Amino acid sequence: MEHRATMVYKTALIAGAIVGGTLGLLCAPRKGSEMRRILSGKVESVREATRRVPLRIPGTDREQRHARKLAALHTETKGEEMHNKLVTMGFITGALIGGIAGLLYAPRPGKETREMLKSKAEYGAEEAKVLAEHAKEIALEKARQARAAAAAAMRAAEKHEADAAAAEEAQG
């Protein structure tokens, strides 16, 4: 069960990261480089503020918190409840991670990305129409050729039949 639970969590985490990353790219208010520059300035100001205040909270070690969360999951839930909780936790965690990564590494603002995707979709639809029309023309030409070949084969068969009947009359 432990392996299955881990796989469920990881799968949900990856799915959430994909969704979050996509949303982050599509909704980014600025280019990722600008966002990183802005955030690095904010992080530096927070560091300066926290240097003056000693902050030590017992039991905040990352591994200890993670172990407590997993233990709480195992003791609080059974079977399907645990599965649902793992999926939800994994998806939300992945969506947050993916969204943050999408925002921080967006090549352009979300509005520009959406416009670019829209124009590419419109171009792709137009290309598909052109290709479909071309395929239709080719199919019609091939059908015409097939009808002409069938008609020629029919005439050849009728001529062969007439020649065979004439040869039979000549012998009889």
Residue with more model confidence, 157 or 35: 157
Q: Judging by beta carbons within 10 Å of its beta carbon (0-12, 13-18, 19+), is residue 86 exposed, middle or buried?
A: buried
Provide the 8-state DSSP code for 107.
S
Q: What is the pLDDT of residue 1?
A: 47
Provide the 8-state DSSP code for 52.
S
Q: Which residues of 1-23 are buried (b: 16+ CB within 10 A; e: fewer)?
A: eeeebeebbeebbebbbebbbeb
Q: What is the pLDDT of residue 155?
A: 93
Work out the pLDDT band at 25, boundaries 50, 70, 90.
confident
Q: What is the pLDDT of residue 124?
A: 93
Q: What is the pLDDT of residue 145?
A: 95
Q: What is the pLDDT of residues 37-95, one digit of tens each?
A: 887 887 777 777 667 665 555 555 667 776 777 666 665 546 667 777 878 888 889 88
Q: What is the pLDDT of residues 101-126, one digit of tens each?
A: 888 888 888 888 889 989 999 999 99
Q: Which residues of 102-141 are buried (b: 16+ CB within 10 A; e: fewer)?
A: bbebbeebbeebeeeeeeeeeeeeeeeeeeeeeeeeeeee
16 Cβ neighbours under 8 A, 6+ residues apart: 90, 91, 92, 93, 94, 95, 96, 97, 98
Q: What is the pLDDT of residue 60?
A: 58
Residue with more model confidence, 83 or 160: 160
Q: What is the pLDDT of residue 136?
A: 94
- The pTM of this model reads 0.47
How far apart are the C-alpha atoms of 100 and 86, rounded to whole Å?
21
Helix or strand or coil: residue 166?
A: helix
- Joined tokens for residue 41: 């300035």
